[in-house]
Structure 1
């Protein structure tokens, strides 16, 4: 975390006792049938949803025919380009044919029937150019057990698909709100025994990356400049409410050891990383690993794109909360952050770091207590499904004067995990395998 006064900046070394990030604005709800990236629906009002078709992922496509069936009666009342839309089966099944030059992103708009108690445009079948991408059979196959891809002859290793969630939590996602258990199953809460008071308190967030490893920020392993011994740390996985010690899916670990990045510097964000090694984590509906971005790490491709962050940091009311919250955030060009506060961001931004946020007056940002948490991006895979990748670990946040909490109007700085891909893999017991089930 960063504090500054004139040309001097100070590091908040996480004497943090606050829990959940600053969020302003309405809840954003997205429905992804079968957790695929080709088609998703964004909620506009209680009864209106926007369907978004990612036509741009297909190359040299001359025409598109979309066949979509809904669980309940639905009305499609418009599209972003001239289209032929026909309805069958008493307004349950639709065929959509865009006309003219195909856009990269095609939108259509639906009205939920008043008799739909779920208020969700639940899809039972989706075909694109006669290729089935989602139906009830595909949904039934998307189980937690299916993510275990260990082969019979791999007695000494364990193979698991990363970055995918239980379908119960993958199809319907809400941002700018409290998280439900299982929504972000790789996020953990890191608790410590304060070296001065001896009290147990919340310290940081972290990210499950293997059966035995959690990636967090390097500065999370210090309190008031003192290194925290591994036996004074507790990691809680599968938790969205810190005070509920009996929450379904909760797993608790005392680390075996911690590994601080060899290039760690408390005043920089370049290598602000650490790995916590624990005994074997059990992957369940509530606890899953995140994929690691890399080894390619050109950050310019991120500029202007939205990502998702979660954490137990300070709220917009500057009050304590023990609930995990989630929001989206925009990755910014370095020039944007430098123009905002050059003296603050110039020492921190380089090819190994990036900044993110919506800027002044947005009120949407990680704050105190969110350090170590991940900036994650959804990435389309060749099976048309979305896998989530960890791209950054929260390192620094800005304040407008010393000894005050992180200001949600400032941009935050992340350590890019891409440049550290090899170090992370080497120290986490990971062996690369394609993220796609063969």
Structure 2
């Protein structure tokens, strides 16, 4: 009888033990990956401001330098040399930017340090002025987007030359250690971008906007969208009112965590997709922690 009981318990627990073992092994590979030497963990995720809770619908103006890792992806017109921006991204090293896979693989340039899109120079209240950095894209390292299922919406970009770090251009941190297994349901994360502030009128923001949204159970999004969310995605937002929108795609979902007594902002998600009538429900985001090994494997310099 004892042997039978032990066998039943073993068969029930064995799959869970296997999953746990695989997860621990994967996390160990991430934590000890040699590519961390290329990632500026000493300067990442620190801004001039402490983030307060607050595709951007009903967002508020960000302060200059509040989200120094945010990038804009654009196409440069061959004749006029003007740049049209339609996606966002996140700087993670001097030469790497993460964005959404659905943004495509044909952008020419990444702009860093932008705040007010109507001016070339932006100044703080204490008269510290800065301008943006435009850097050409060298190549798309990987793009895993599944168009049919709207899954694996992530892409890694390599820049032609390094970004110059300052108070207004700085990378976000990447999750590591205990942050890889963190239960995100219920926490509030920040979304930033220059997307539509009114999806009906298609009014684009000229000043960087941000909102704070709760990460909710995936079932909230499963009820709204055709495709059910996978383990590689999360659902975040309110039933109505605040949301990311067109133009915010590929942008950062960040959360501030205190690690080793230092508070830093970590990239936990990428803006993927939402309702066409932005603000009418939660949106879908790609989880960075699920792609950390792939990201690290592709950072060679």
Q: TM-score range by the shorter chain?
A: 0.7 to 0.9
TM-score by length of 1: 0.52
Match of 2:255 in 1: 377
Partner secondary structure for residue 264 of structure 1: coil
User: What SS does structure 1 have at the residue aligned with 2:291?
Assistant: helix
1:245 shift after superposition: 2.5
- The answer on whether the counterparts of 2:46 and 2:263 sit within 8 Å (CA) in structure 1 is no
Q: Which consecutive unaligned segments of at least 5 residues does structure 2 have?
A: 1-36, 123-129
- Counterpart of 1:217 in structure 2 is 100
Q: Using the TM superposition, give the Cα deviation of residue 251 of structure 1 relative to its aligned residue in structure 2, in angstroms.
A: 1.1
Alignment partner, residue 241 of structure 1: 116
Instruction: Specify the SS of the correspondent of 1:304.
Output: coil
Following the alignment from structure 1 to structure 2, what is the Cα–Cα distance between the partners of residues 308 and 171? 12
- How far the C-alpha of 1:348 sits from its partner, in A, is 4.1
TM-score by length of 2: 0.74
Task: Please list, as runs of the form range in 1=range in 2, the aligned pairs for 1:62-77 lying within 5 A after superposition.
Answer: none
Residue 379 and residue 172 in structure 1: after superposition, are their counterparts in 2 closer, same or farther (change >3 A)?
A: closer
Counterpart among 250, 268, 276 of residue 391 in structure 1? 268
Q: Which residue of 1 aligns with 2:49?
A: 170
Q: Does 1:305 align with 2:184?
A: no
Q: Is the 8 Å Cα contact of residues 113 and 168 (structure 2) preserved in structure 1? A: yes
- CA deviation vs aligned residue, 1:97-145 (integer Å, no higher than 9, x gap): xxxxxxxxxxxxxxxxxxxxxxxxxxxxxxxxxxxxxxxxxxxxxxxxx
For the pair 1:411 / 2:282, whether they are aligned, the reply is yes
- Whether the aligned pair in 2 keeps the contact of 1:356 and 1:411 (CA below 8 Å) is yes
User: Does the CA contact (< 8 Å) of 1:334 and 1:354 recur in 2?
Assistant: yes
Secondary structure (helix, strand or coil) at the match of 1:286 reads coil
> CA offset at residue 382 of structure 1?
2.3
Residue from 298, 314, 323 that aligns with 2:196: 314
Q: CA deviation at 1:298?
A: 4.5
Secondary structure in 1 matching 2:121: coil
Deviations 1:395-434 (A, max 9, x none): 11113xxxxxx4211211111111110111222347xxxx
Query: Is contact 2:221-2:229 (8 Å) kept?
Result: no
- Counterpart of 1:189? 72
Residue 333 (structure 1) aligned to one of 201, 217, 220: 217
Residue from 204, 209, 213 that aligns with 2:87: 204
Give yes or no for contact 2:120–2:131 (8 Å, CA) kept in 1.
Answer: no
Match among 42, 50, 55 for residue 161 of structure 1: 42
Q: Deviations over 1:148-197 (max 9, x none)?
A: xxxxxxxx96844244334xx224758441112211100011111479x9
Q: Which of 142, 161, 173 in structure 2 is aligned with 1:291?
A: 173
Unaligned runs of 5+ in 1: 1-155, 222-226, 400-405, 431-438
Distance in 2 (CA, whole Å) between partners of 1:186 and 1:395 is 18
Distance in 2 of aligned mates of 1:355 and 1:236: 28
Contact between 1:275 and 1:428, CA under 8 Å: does it hold in 2?
no
Residue 272 (1) aligns with residue 153 (2): yes
Distance in 1 (alpha carbons) for counterparts of 2:296 and 2:228: 25
- How many residue pairs get matched? 249
1:252 Cα deviation from its structure 2 partner: 1.1
CA offsets 1:5-42 (integer angstroms, 9 cap, x no match) = xxxxxxxxxxxxxxxxxxxxxxxxxxxxxxxxxxxxxx
- CA distance, structure 2, for counterparts of residue 158 and residue 411 of structure 1: 32
Indicate whether 1:351 and 2:231 are aligned: yes
Q: Matches of 2:39 and 2:215 in 1, distance apart?
A: 34
Cα RMSD (Å): 2.6
Partners of 1:210 and 1:428 within 8 A in 2: no
Alpha carbons of structure 1 residues 272 and 182: separation in structure 2 relative to 1, 3 Å: same
Tell me whether 173-182 or 210-219 shows the greater mean CA deviation.
Answer: 173-182
